[in-house]
């Protein structure tokens, strides 16, 4: 896939974005195979949406940074008007948080009755089953909104998505808080 991308596929609009996203998805699949884990359909859809969101965001950032000479850098950028990239970004930003929310709503209970502390076993099922991971949804929505704010609200030209994620203290804090909340929710 990487050789085909490097030789030819990077020149074809839309396919280039799909190939970039596929790289993220294959990494997730490889990790699941390595630890013998099942990937929920909703989680896989969320990862797909997020991967496409990042890939389109990368194209948008390139179009911004290389204004006027974008075609010399990447031929496929000729076929991505900025307003089309904006539509793609909105589409995948929405599908990212929405599929994540649906994943959290359908996430199996981490606590099985009879295998927990007696206090937890006596709680109503409403408080134990499939509810707590939903607490992370507002953080995901905030993270998506913050990334969009950085792309569109900044007066300076924004770099590549990975640079944005690694340089913005607010996004780093949101990801850290989300990670802690997920671990606490699933394991505690």
Ordered mean pLDDT values, 10 residues apiece, the chain (188 residues)? 87 90 91 90 93 89 73 74 92 96 77 50 54 90 92 68 84 96 84
Q: Are 10 and 16 in contact (CB under 8 A)?
A: yes
Return the domain boundaries, the chain: 2-187
> How far is 21 from 55, CA to CA, in rounded Å?
6
Q: Collect all residues with Cβ–Cβ distance below 8 Å to 81 and sequence separation of at least 6.
A: none
List, in order, residues 6 or more apart from 116 with CB less than 8 Å away. Answer: none
Report the candidate in 46, 157, 158, 167 with the shortest Cα–Cα distance to residue 103.
Answer: 46
pLDDT of residue 11: 85
């Amino acid at each position: 896939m990487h050789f085909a991308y490097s030789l030819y596929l990077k020149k074809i609009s839309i396919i280039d974005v799909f190939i970039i996203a596929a790289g993220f998805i294959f990494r997730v699949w490889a990790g699941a195979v390595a630890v013998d884990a099942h990937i929920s359909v909703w989680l896989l859809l969320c990862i797909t949406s997020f991967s496409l969101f990042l890939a389109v965001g990368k194209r948008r950032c390139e179009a911004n940074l290389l204004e006027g000479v974008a075609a010399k850098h990447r031929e496929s950028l000729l076929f991505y008007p900025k307003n089309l990239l904006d539509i793609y970004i909105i589409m995948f930003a929405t599908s990212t948080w929405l599929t994540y929310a649906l994943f959290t709503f359908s996430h199996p209970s981490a606590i099985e009755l009879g295998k927990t502390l007696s206090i937890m076993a006596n709680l109503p099922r409403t408080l134990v089953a499939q509810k707590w991971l939903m607490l992370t949804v507002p953080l995901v929505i905030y993270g998506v909104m913050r990334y969009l704010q950085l792309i569109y609200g900044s007066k300076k030209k924004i770099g590549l998505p990975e640079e944005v994620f690694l340089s913005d203290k607010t996004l780093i804090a949101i990801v850290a808080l989300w990670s802690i909340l997920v671990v606490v929710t699933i394991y505690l």
